[in-house]
Amino acid sequence: MTHWIWEYDGYLPAEERLRESLCTLGNGYFATRGALPECDADDVHYPGTYAAGCYNRLTSEVAGRQVENEDMVNLPNWLPLRFRVRGEQWLVPDTAAVLEHRQLVHLSSGMLERMTRYDLGKGRTLAVRQLRIVHMADPHLAALRTEFTAEDFSGEVDVEAALDGAVTNAGVARYRELDGRHLTHVHTGTATPDTVWLRCRTRMSDIRVGMAARLTTDEPASNTHASECAVQRVRLRLTPDRTVTVDKTVALHTSRDPAISDPLRAAIDRVSGAPGFDDLLESHLTAWDQLWRRAELDVPGDAGAILRLHLFHVLQTLSPHTADLDAGVPARGLHGEAYRGHVFWDELFVLPYLNLHFPEVSRALLHYRHRRLGQARAAARRIGRQGALYPWQSGSDGREETQQLHLNPRSGRWLPDHTHLQHHVGSAIAYNVWQYCEASGDAEFLHTKGAEMLLQIARFWADSATYDDRLGRHRIRGVVGPDEYHDACPGASQPGLDDNAYTNVTAAWVLTRTLDVLDDLPEPRRRELVERTGLDGGELERWQDVSRTLHVPFHDDVVSQFAGYGDLAELDWDGYRERYGDIRRLDRILEAEGDTVNRYQASKQADVLMLGYLFSPAELQGLFHRLGHRLDEDTWRRTVDYYLARTSHGSTLSGLVHGWVLARARRAEAWTFCQEALKGDIADLQGGTTGEGIHLGAMAGTLDLVQRGLTGLETRRGALWLDPVPLPELSSYGFALQYQGHWGVRLRMERGSLEIAVPSSGRSPIDIRLPDRSVSVQPGETCRLLLPD
């Protein structure tokens, strides 16, 4: 492992799914898992190709019920390329003798290199080297170069390349009782002697898919068309130590693409016009060079190497090509089928990073939410509320995609799923609107689509709040918080919790921020918005009232996760760790025992502490003050300690949030949680989940931990605010960012000092605010500031 190469040595079937996820290549439009091209999908290998925003809905019978699920579709497999010595068995590492096997992800170039040496017996060795790219300059192209070298023999090798349309969604074991046959009407054909094609469509969403493959080699290829497969065959003559090359170039289009008439014709035309592998690689490298310059990151040691891998996967999922798509932030990237490719609240951890590097991508991802504002308003109406209720899980059209049932693998039981009650996702969207506009200075978006979303989310929160005469405060009832473990109080007849602190405080923030935005709108635009939405003065007065009187429960001088949390039983944490070892998924353990986590003071991940992730200490204290509560440093410290002792960290986001909060509080144990966040996917800390797809929010969040968490960076009121915290384990680091039209602004932290360099341009100077001073840095200047101990 180096800062620019991620390497796996040796063939280990048990690790293959994990490696396939972490060796995935993509370009924001589509991605393909790092499976070996000669291997079919089975219990070890799972090739998968996924296009952003390409979903299909199917109905399955589960536990005697008809259950509807929408999935990100596993598209036809373009990878297949198998080989064998003439007259012998096809070579795969599971059955053939492997002398050497290495896989290297070249992060700087977005290329996967694979090298395998097969022992063929009788003193013969065949070396196979492959170079794979999913093109970053042309998002519809991918290419695979295969080099065969007979090290010590002469003979003929048969090569068979294919486009395979007989694929299903079968990459997640717990989903296999569900219907995964998303493709239909698969047809194949030959375009030219070296090019074959495949077309199909999704069964319900009727998305048409066109794929074409060109095979380039010194020998002529023959084409055949098996059931749902287009196959190209070639026979190579090998002599000792002479390398023979086969190049496979593939184009992919779907009917969701703009500026095409037919996806198949577009794919054939594109692959026909594509240059050879070497020229494709050159333009691909140029595109990656440009990405790395915009996302420059310099962190030393192992942490730096892992962060660069995280950044690589973020860029492959959400690249500048994403700006042209109608797609959201898939929680598991384009790397696998976990969570069915749905969009959750993970953008809360992703957009703050993108805002300062690729604001055009952030804007596009917010457009995805705005296009579904009508669906969110309809969802609110269905439960008798005003405003917009965004879904906890979103897919193609913005309806609620959260599953009705989920499987506990420990007990084998299908259980009701109430996570759709996580209405706080609306606050996450509002937060992202505000953060994007503050970082980019995009007043046009804030005044139009941003204001519309903020208004309707605020309207939902105000209408959800009911006044309690006994408390003299407003309450929000029947929700689920970020913790997710708790979905009801013990013995309750209905799901949902009352007064989740995170939900109520963020709702108050949304109401307050929306009132500020409405006040600042240009009068003509404000008039338009009022006319379109029926907003009146009485409604605004209610927003003011609710934003100041939402109830935040406390117990034992700490903030309560929800009303009644302090009355729950304490869990025997030591006993459960002794019995089970890994108790991250404590909810599954307890359910398998016939118990429920609803009875205990036990959280899956940060809930109350998420407030310390979103808001600086000063802003959080201000929010509580507005709500009539005093949140001093001692109360917050007690609250942090209280939940640290009662959290199982059953999510990759948990280590990230706890590391962030503890770092801001200058706590010595911060680095332990930061390391867990860094290693979440590479070490598969959640027990086999990474093989089903990376955890994109946690990956992006670790980047933002360096960018904003450790520097205390905030973008507000037209300035960059910095309040760095010393972290002994990471005292020297640097990065570049884009801020309100300034490209390539470099920040460099060293022990006791901060350097800021602003590239030359015609822009105005950047105002920098630190706790004890303010400076203005002109374009073309570098400013070095000494920091207090």
Query: Catalytic site residues?
Result: 484
Q: How many residues does the chain have?
A: 789
Rounded alpha-carbon distances, angstroms, from residue 755 to 594, 746, 749: 57, 8, 7
- Contact, 623 vs 630, CB < 8 A? no
How far is it, in rounded angstroms, from Cα 205 to Cα 208? 9
- Contact, 582 vs 650, CB < 8 A? no
For residue 318, give every residue at least 6 positions away whose Cβ sits within 8 Å of its Cβ, in sequence order, or none. Answer: 28, 329, 350, 354, 358, 361, 365
How far is it, in rounded angstroms, from Cα 131 to Cα 211? 20
Rounded alpha-carbon distances, angstroms, from residue 137 to 62, 140, 319, 355: 43, 9, 10, 22
Report the Cα 603 to chain-centroid distance in Å.
22
Among the residues of 566-609, which ranges form H helices? 573-580, 586-592
Element (H, E) at 215: strand 208-216
Where do the DSSP E strands lie in 714-760? 714-716, 719-721, 733-739, 742-750, 753-757
Which of 128, 119, 67 lies closest to 96 in space, CA to CA? 119
Element (H, E) at 272: helix 263-273
- Contact, 78 vs 252, CB < 8 A? yes
Element (H, E) at 537: helix 537-549
Rounded alpha-carbon distances, angstroms, from residue 125 to 17, 98, 177, 328, 663: 27, 10, 43, 47, 54
Question: Phi/psi at 35 (nearest 5 deg)?
Answer: -75, 155
Question: Phi/psi at 667 (nearest 5 deg)?
Answer: -100, 140
- Contact, 75 vs 30, CB < 8 A? yes
Q: CA 671, 673, 674: angle at the middle one, nearest 5?
A: 60
How far is it, in rounded angstroms, from Cα 782 to Cα 789? 22
